[in-house]
Amino acid sequence: MSTIQTINPATEEIIASYNRMHPEAAKEKVDKAHEAFLSWRTRSFEDRAKLMHTLADLFEEKTEVYAQLATEEMGKTIAQSRGEVEKCARICRYYADNAASLLANTSVETEAKKSYVTFQPLGVLLAVMPWNFPFYQVIRFAAPALMAGNTCVLKHASNVQGCAFKLEEMIEEAGFPQGVFANLNINSDSVKEVIEHKHVKAVTLTGSEPAGRSVAAIAGENLKKTVMELGGSDAYIILEDANIEDATDLATFGRLQNNGQTCIAAKRFVVVEEVYDEFLTKFTEKMQSKKMGKPTDEDTYYGPLARIDLRDELHEQVQKTVSQGARLVIGGSVPKQKGAYYPATILAEVTPGMEGFDNELFGPVASVIKAKDEAHAIELANNSNFGLGSGVITSNRERGERIALQLEAGSSFVNKLVVSDPRLPFGGIKNSGYGRELSGYGIREFTNTKSIWIE
């Protein structure tokens, strides 16, 4: 039996070792999840909601414990870890309070005596989740899935197995029946067998584009539905009428939030030439002023990347972009210290065809791009294989809305960074994936939309 180790990215110290689950044991967990589904699907929304509120209580009561674990395993600042745990509680309460209405039968006028659409759970769902929001990414999927009457098995990232097992423990502690949620600590190579298991009815994945393609291909061969939330290279357009002080505040937080490791983080800043120099100067000052340090220190603005190999890959991307003609404004060097640290970095004069334009930079690195005018800015923003989030910074809301409607992405925000909100659907287009999470659209993704006709 193989083992894996979780490693603190700030210190490079080993946190814990875990035995990998044998594929046969994983299949048994799926079987138990199916058995649990047969009774769980019959429970009322009211019964499910009580347990979901209890889970929310646990998140709130033990925020500091869970936040410390997330920070230790993947390096996000302790303040942002607390925010993640608190957001989990809000998601749980949102679906506890709204699942019944979101999944209510919808009457349809036909020639029948009675006809309507109903939404019924599918069964066991497999979630393949990433490390960057080790609690929230799972709850974002699990809360609506469980409230809809499905059961869940989780393949979490190897470097956050402490969080994965803690989630399994919490859901059991909240009173959910045995088997309703299970952590499968399996190798990536074993995911195929789980997808192919007869009791797994659908798969959701949040992660990289290559991982999404692989999982979607296996699921497709087995005719199982998938929802994919993949990478992003979100473009934010800064227009000449923007408040540059506000724009650079947003840009700085957007690029350094979660140590730069957020799919919907602002990554490409498309600035019209009239304010390009002013934006770049103020942006540089603010990025330089933010403290990189221990994620457990309260005054740290951003910490290390989640792993050394990820830091090294990011550095290679920065070097490649510079070799292709971009200008390195600040950062761009690996610190001589322990930990997966990488400094706030700005690449200017980035153009299509460069690494920093075409591909996702998953870390505290910003690409600043000059546009001739509004039309050119929209063209540059849409010149991407990704389409997760996007934004427009302008003093004219109507103008911002008009541009937002033209941006090719699952979300477009005006004068605000893209955020996920349980009341709104979340997901992407193009190589950023398909399907939606959150809101009524998300909870219905993993239900059977069934027509009922009574003559």
- Considering the entire predicted model, what is its pTM? 0.97
pLDDT for the residue numbered 237? 98
pLDDT for the residue numbered 448? 98
pLDDT interval class at 375 (50, 70, 90):
very high
pLDDT in tens, 308-344: 999 999 999 999 999 999 999 999 999 999 999 999 9
Measured distance CA(35)–CA(151) in Å, rounded:
9
Average pLDDT, the chain: 97
pLDDT interval class at 1 (50, 70, 90):
low
pLDDT in tens, 80-138: 999 999 999 999 999 999 999 999 999 999 999 999 999 999 999 999 999 999 999 99
Measured distance CA(411)–CA(79) in Å, rounded:
26
pLDDT for the residue numbered 50? 98
Tell me if residue 163 is catalytic: no
pLDDT in tens, 257-289: 999 999 998 999 999 999 999 999 999 999 999
Marked catalytic residue, from 73, 229, 360, 437: 229
- Give percent of the chain with pLDDT exceeding 90: 99
pLDDT for the residue numbered 278? 98
CB 178 within 8 A of CB 399: no
234-422 has which CATH code?
A: 3.40.309.10
Domain extent listing, the chain:
3-230+432-454, 234-422
**Domains 3-230+432-454 and 234-422 alike in fold:** no
| Superfamily name and number for 3-230+432-454 | Aldehyde Dehydrogenase; Chain A, domain 1 (3.40.605.10)
pLDDT in tens, 355-373: 999 999 999 999 999 999 9
Q: Which residues contact 365 (CB under 8 A, 6 or more apart)?
A: 255, 260, 314, 317, 318, 331, 342, 345, 346, 347, 356
pLDDT in tens, 395-407: 999 999 999 999 9
pLDDT in tens, 193-227: 999 999 999 999 999 999 999 999 999 999 999 99
Measured distance CA(252)–CA(334) in Å, rounded:
20
pLDDT interval class at 179 (50, 70, 90):
very high
Marked catalytic residue, from 163, 263, 355, 374: 263
Tell me if residue 92 is catalytic: no
